[in-house]
Amino acid sequence: MTKLHWKIGTVLGLLILSFWLLYPTVEWYTKTPGERAKLEAVRMRPKRILNLGLDLRGGTHLLLELDVAKLGKKEQLNDAMARAIEIIRNRIDQYGVGETPISRQGERWISVDLPGISNTEEAENLIGKTALLEFRLVNESPEAQTVISKAELMDGSPLNKDGTPVPEIAKLLPKGTILCKSAAGEEGDRTRYYVLNDTVSVTGAYLENARVESDRQFGTPSIGFTFNKEGGRLFDQFTGANVGKYLAIVLDGVVHSAPVIKTRISGGSGVIEGSFTLEEARDLAIVLRAGSLPAPVNIIEKRVVGPGLGEDSIHKGLMSALGGLLLVLVFMAIYYKGGGFIADTALLLNFVFLIAAMSYFSATLTLPGIAGMILSLAMAIDANVLILERMREEMALSKPVAMIIPTGYDKAWSAILDSNVTTWIASIFLFQFGSGPVKGFAVTLTIGLLIGMFTSVFVTRAIYEFWLTSNPKELSI
């Protein structure tokens, strides 16, 4: 196989690969919104497709603030923020919202975009839960029974908003205990209260997995959990030392069940039972699997972008991009004739390769991303202009066609490389110090520049070399 055959085979192979990568994206977005929503609900969304960002698809932007006052004494802010971002990302990914942009803003704020989600109440609850799972012994002393009787007879709540007992209850609590309420609806509409030991022997930090299960007799949903090796050993010791006592399963300060420990529980697994709906059990399992936030997060800003505005942005963005592309294609074909047509072919291939690469990496396309794409296409056509102008200079010296083409590429190469490298440097700084849409612009621009270099130099030269096999006498530029 000659060198030319290898070049043409590479270009055709990449073109076929690009169409194969683009098929899932095209097939997905040709479906109606209703069809896409049904498939997303059952987690049937393709993985490797081009995702539309918040400004194109519509959805909700949330700005969260980490409550640094409630961080543990040994918890560093930077570590806590990194852990919180990772946990929030895991929760949202498991919830089924693909490619969610999440980034740190300032010292203690986290920016979250939820494309395609306009009713965000459920997602907000999922993001904000601290999911602190604890196993505590129930205190059954006479003093504890007195506290419970008084708490249940009070007109108001015996607990403050922060979960601490009101003064008249606090003074009655036995030393080394706390007061917790039961989950809503555990026993009809009446809220029960429990006096629990303040010592926590096992927490959700040792959890390895959590899943939704169903009661075999009644079919009610529950949450099965499995500890890691260390957690299983601690739970085995804890239950073995407290057979016959009541064990409260506490999630975020609320008692979901308090079964009696009938025997030592070995194997490192168990079940959290309560009055869960299927959705509540699913969300709790997701939160437990993803891990507990290092501190509570508060939603301090919420901005909704309607689907109509997103569709309008897509329409205007596409019209402007297609209009500009058409003008460039027509200008190149008229001004540079045959050479312009080859440059136009490379530009169209550049666009196909770029969209295919973004689909493969499941990139999220935003308006700044479209701007980066247009700039990279402009850089690619600029490289072709440099090559064609160098060829014209060689033509003016009356050189043969077989010498004009390689000389034009050789002389234009340094200018093409310099212009692309300087733009790459700017992209690196934008990616390093920017956030959100700025990073999206930088990523799209960087990928576009790499592909633009390939199409404007490698692809066009392969076309010219193939054309030279016909022994042309003149070059149309």
Co-location of 365 and 453 in the same domain:
yes
pLDDT tens-digit profile of 383-403? 999 999 999 999 988 888 889
pLDDT tens-digit profile of 236-259? 898 889 888 988 888 777 887 788
Query: What confidence score (pLDDT) does residue 124 get?
Result: 72
Query: What confidence score (pLDDT) does residue 99 get?
Result: 54
Query: What confidence score (pLDDT) does residue 75 get?
Result: 60
Indicate if the pLDDT at residue 335 is higher than 50.
Answer: yes
Q: What rounded mean pLDDT belongs to the chain?
A: 82
Q: What is the CATH number of the domain that holds 98?
A: 3.30.70.3400
Q: Identify the bridge partners of residue 212 per DSSP, sorted by sequence position.
A: 223
Indicate if the pLDDT at residue 199 is higher than 60.
Answer: yes
Co-location of 114 and 154 in the same domain:
no
Asked if the structure places residue 169 within a domain, the reply is yes
Question: Stretch 158-163: mean pLDDT, rounded?
Answer: 81
More confident residue, 224 or 139: 139
Asked if the structure places residue 49 within a domain, the reply is no
Domain interval for residue 404: 3-31+306-468
Question: Stretch 119-142: mean pLDDT, rounded?
Answer: 76
Co-location of 98 and 160 in the same domain:
no
Indicate if the pLDDT at residue 405 is higher than 50.
Answer: yes
More confident residue, 98 or 263: 263
pLDDT tens-digit profile of 452-475? 999 999 999 999 999 988 888 888
Determine the distance from the C-alpha atom of residue 107 to the mean position of all C-alpha atoms in its chain, rounded to a whole number.
21
Query: What confidence score (pLDDT) does residue 275 get?
Result: 66
**Could you tell me which residues come within 8 angstroms of residue 291 by beta carbon, excluding any fewer than 6 positions away?**
83, 87, 90, 131
Residue 280's CB: how many other CB atoms inside 10 A?
16
Looking from the CA of 242 toward its CB, the CA atoms found within 13 Å total 21
More confident residue, 357 or 57: 357
Indicate if the pLDDT at residue 309 is higher than 60.
Answer: no
Asked if the structure places residue 368 within a domain, the reply is yes
Query: What confidence score (pLDDT) does residue 461 get?
Result: 93
Co-location of 315 and 446 in the same domain:
yes
Q: What is the CATH number of the domain that holds 376?
A: 1.20.1640.10
Co-location of 89 and 196 in the same domain:
no
Question: Stretch 326-331: mean pLDDT, rounded?
Answer: 90
**Which of residues 250, 277, 305 is at a domain's end?**
305
Co-location of 411 and 346 in the same domain:
yes
Co-location of 111 and 145 in the same domain:
no
Please state which of the ranges 23-27, 135-139, 218-222 shows the lowest mean pLDDT: 218-222
Determine the distance from the C-alpha atom of residue 18 to the mean position of all C-alpha atoms in its chain, rounded to a whole number.
24
Co-location of 207 and 72 in the same domain:
no
pLDDT band at 186 (very low <50, low <70, confident <90, very high): very low
Co-location of 277 and 416 in the same domain:
no
Indicate if the pLDDT at residue 188 is higher than 50.
Answer: no
Indicate if the pLDDT at residue 12 is higher than 90.
Answer: yes
Question: Stretch 4-23: mean pLDDT, rounded?
Answer: 93
Indicate if the pLDDT at residue 73 is higher than 60.
Answer: no
Q: What is the CATH number of the domain that holds 286?
A: 3.30.1360.200
Cα 341 to Cα 188: distance, rounded to the nearest angstrom: 77
Asked if the structure places residue 65 within a domain, the reply is yes
Query: What confidence score (pLDDT) does residue 277 get?
Result: 77
Asked if the structure places residue 38 within a domain, the reply is no
Co-location of 285 and 190 in the same domain:
yes
Query: What confidence score (pLDDT) does residue 54 get?
Result: 75
More confident residue, 436 or 403: 403
What are the CA-CA distances from residue 59 to residues 40, 253, 309 (Å)? 15, 32, 10
Co-location of 142 and 123 in the same domain:
no
**Which of residues 282, 305, 328 is at a domain's end?**
305
User: What share of the chain in percent tops pLDDT 70?
Assistant: 86
Number of domains present in the structure of the chain: 3
Query: What confidence score (pLDDT) does residue 94 get?
Result: 59
Question: Stretch 153-158: mean pLDDT, rounded?
Answer: 85
Instruction: Give the amino acid at 25.
Output: T
Co-location of 111 and 86 in the same domain:
yes
